[in-house]
């Protein structure tokens, strides 16, 4: 049986890491094998591409170059790690996936439809079973990130960019409500965890897990 592919999305500072641990705990308590991974990254080659993408010194990177490197990292990650894990029946929890490219590169960088098209090739058509969008106002997210240390290349972008990304996520969630669950990330960690677990329980019941 194919496992489950769960992705978690949101602007910087939305609290994704905490919720990934919560999702892992949920499945571990059910005795299921759960692995977590991230994008860009998750394999040796993809992590090297991550370093290039996030290096704050790479100020000359063209938008199209950026989009293609995210897609390249994803193509490797999907084939080397995500698909083999799903084929073994594992639960894969991934910190960001194609929705990030649509939000950041199609909307943030204003590259438009070509982003989805390129990513269709990168993923071979793989789609998450469920996606949690941690909805945080970009200004609040930015304040949280600034308390955690230095900004990476994307975090350094001006607030306007982050509002376009936010708008992108809103459009993604509106266009695919069956898959994408909007979670109000201004709520307490406990409230957010419970909401996510309710969706996961529903999904497990549907799949007989």
Length of the chain: 209
Number of shown-chain residues binding ligand TMP (CB under 6 A): 12
Among residues 96, 162, 164, 182, which is the contact residue for ligand TMP, using CB under 6 A? 96
Residues 6+ apart with CB under 8 A from 89: 1, 2, 3, 33
Residue 40 CA to residue 46 CA, distance in Å, equals 6
For 96-161, the DSSP string reads --HHHHIIIIIIIS--TTHHHHHHHHHHTT---SEEEEEE--HHHHHHHHHHHS---TTTTS-HHH
**Residue 136 C-beta-side C-alpha neighbours within 13 Å:** 24
Q: Which single residue is written with the structure tokens 């094998």?
A: 33
Among residues 27, 70, 107, 169, which is the contact residue for ligand TMP, using CB under 6 A? 70
Taking the least distance from each CB to ligand TMP, the nearer of 62 and 206 is 62
Question: Is residue 37 a contact residue for ligand TMP (CB under 6 A)?
Answer: no
Residues 6+ apart with CB under 8 A from 29: none
Among residues 45, 154, 203, 209, which is the contact residue for ligand TMP, using CB under 6 A? 154
Among residues 3, 13, 15, 40, which is the contact residue for ligand TMP, using CB under 6 A? 40
Closest contact distance (angstroms) between CB of 120 and ligand TMP is: 14
Question: Is residue 19 a contact residue for ligand TMP (CB under 6 A)?
Answer: no
Closest contact distance (angstroms) between CB of 204 and ligand TMP is: 26
Stretch that binds ligand TMP, among 37-45, 77-85, 127-135, 195-203 (CB under 6 A): 37-45
Residues between 163 and 192 that touch ligand TMP (CB under 6 A): none
Q: Which single residue is written with the structure tokens 């409500």?
A: 177
Question: Is residue 100 a contact residue for ligand TMP (CB under 6 A)?
Answer: yes
Q: Which of 36, 54, 46 lies closest to 77, judged by CA? A: 46
Taking the least distance from each CB to ligand TMP, the nearer of 80 and 209 is 80
Crossing angle for the helix pair 63-77 and 114-123, nearest 10 degrees?
A: 20
Question: In the bound complex, which residue of the shown chain has the CB atom lying closest to ligand TMP?
Answer: 104
Taking the least distance from each CB to ligand TMP, the nearer of 37 and 193 is 37
Q: Which single residue is written with the structure tokens 């930015």?
A: 142
Taking the least distance from each CB to ligand TMP, the nearer of 43 and 204 is 43
Q: Which residues bind ligand TMP (CB under 6 A)?
A: 12, 38-40, 70, 96, 100-101, 104-105, 154-155
């Amino acid at each position: 049986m194919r496992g489950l592919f769960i992705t978690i999305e949101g602007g910087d500072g939305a609290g994704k890491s905490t919720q990934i641990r919560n999702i892992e705990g949920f499945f571990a308590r059910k005795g299921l094998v759960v692995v977590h991974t991230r994008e860009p990254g998750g394999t040796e080659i993809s992590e090297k591409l991550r370093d290039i993408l996030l290096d704050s010194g790479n100020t000359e990177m063209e938008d199209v170059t950026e989009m293609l490197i995210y897609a390249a990292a994803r193509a490797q990650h999907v084939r080397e790690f995500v698909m083999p894990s799903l084929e073994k029946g594992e639960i894969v929890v991934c910190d960001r996936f194609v929705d990030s490219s649509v939000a950041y590169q199609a909307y943030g960088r204003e590259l438009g439809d070509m982003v989805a098209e390129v990513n269709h090739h990168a993923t071979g058509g793989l789609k998450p079973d469920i996606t949690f969008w941690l909805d945080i106002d970009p200004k609040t997210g930015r304040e949280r990130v600034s308390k955690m240390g230095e900004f990476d290349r994307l975090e350094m972008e001006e607030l306007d960019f982050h509002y376009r990304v936010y708008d992108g996520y809103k459009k993604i969630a509106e266009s695919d409500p069956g898959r994408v669950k909007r979670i109000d990330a201004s709520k307490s960690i406990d409230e957010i965890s419970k909401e996510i677990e309710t969706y996961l329980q529903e999904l497990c019941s549907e799949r007989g897990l």
